[in-house]
Homo-oligomer: A and B are copies of this chain.
Amino acid sequence: MIDRDAIRAAAARIAPHIRRTPLLRLAPGELGPDLGLAHGLVLKLELLQASGSFKPRGAFNTMLAGPLPAAGVIAASGGNHGAAVAYAARALGVAAEIFVPEITGAAKRARIAGYGARLVVGGAAYDEARQASERRAAETGALQVHAYDQATVLAGQGTVALEWSEDAPELTHVLVATGGGGLIGGMAAWYAGSGTQVISVESEGCPTLAMALREGRPVAAPVGGLAADSLGARQVGALGFAVAQRHVAAAVLVPDAAILAAQRLLWEAARLVAEPGGATALAALLCGAWVAPAGARGGASIGVVVCGGNCEPGSVAG
């Protein structure tokens, strides 16, 4: 199980390479007087992280945790993880091969290639790309960086919580979007046993963690809807699930309409461009999928991770 020491070690390792992302504090009325939120919000602006999402934290930690092979690194991802590994490889001066599925769009391919990685189209869907990347890694000896189910990845993503607990120790609840479980696993491991509860938010189209918690084990889940490109893991990772089962206070689902509303609100109220997965945590407050406990409403202090901004910027305007 990932613990605070592993996350502290990750933070020290990655500090020269990642941005300590800032917070934006919003008073109750600032997201619009009609929302009726009884509490202010503390947004963690992880969308301003290098490469546009939190993913470089885990990528750098994995690449710096041991000696890097001469063959460099390899990853499978059509999205934020691929961009983050390519970014980290460039920063550390090693080669990267990123295997993407055919469905990956031109903009995301261009970003990965723009960081200097070798882009390989590895099959029709993510699973084929992943298998192709594993075969290639066996040939070359490159270090595989998993998108979520790897201890160094969880520890890296957990540094979001470490920074937040230092910069906003008053938080009673933090809302986090869940895809494959790397971010929520790392964050819940940090906050475990503290006064801060971690709430998982998923889109109804990608209910990976909610289904696993209900079944008591990781199970295959649907992958669809607006946030599928960043939250659409077929199955939650074993490591993240083990943490979430013990340390996540609630796992809620939100409809695509609430995600879109959250994207538009972040733009209207704070000039932030969040991709659908990046706006998913906030969506839970907008649609009431999660409400601060009645007793805590007055005293609750709510944090929301805005975890990515890799979308067409024009897509957030109403």
Contact = CB atoms under 8 A, between A and B. Distances in A.
A258 to B, nearest CB: 20
Interface residues of A, number: 34
Contacts of A30: 19, 50
A179 interface: no
Contacts of A21: 24
A285 interface: no
Given A25-B20, A313-B314, A314-B314, A271 B271 contact: no
Contact of A273 (B20, B25, B313): B313
Contacts of A52: 271
* This protein's copies in its complex: 2
A22 B26 CA distance: 12
Given A270-B48, A317-B314, A22 B22 contact: yes
A23 B19 CA distance: 11
Contacts of A314: 312-315, 317
A312 B318 CA distance: 11
Given A22-B22, A24-B19, A313 B48 contact: no
Contacts of A272: 48
A45 interface: yes
Contacts of A147: none
A25 B19 CA distance: 7
A40 to B, nearest CB: 11
Interface string A8-49: 000000001001111111110110010000000000010110
Interface string A259-294: 000000001011111000000000000000000000
A207 interface: no
28 contacts: A16-B27, A19-B24, A19-B25, A19-B26, A19-B30, A20-B25, A21-B24, A22-B22, A22-B24, A22-B45, A30-B50, A47-B271, A48-B270, A48-B271, A48-B272, A50-B269, A52-B271, A267-B313, A271-B309, A271-B310, A273-B273, A273-B313, A312-B314, A312-B317, A313-B313, A313-B316, A314-B314, A314-B317
Given A19-B25, A48-B272, A314-B317, 10 more contacts: A16-B27, A19-B30, A22-B45, A24-B48, A47-B271, A48-B271, A50-B269, A52-B271, A271-B309, A271-B310
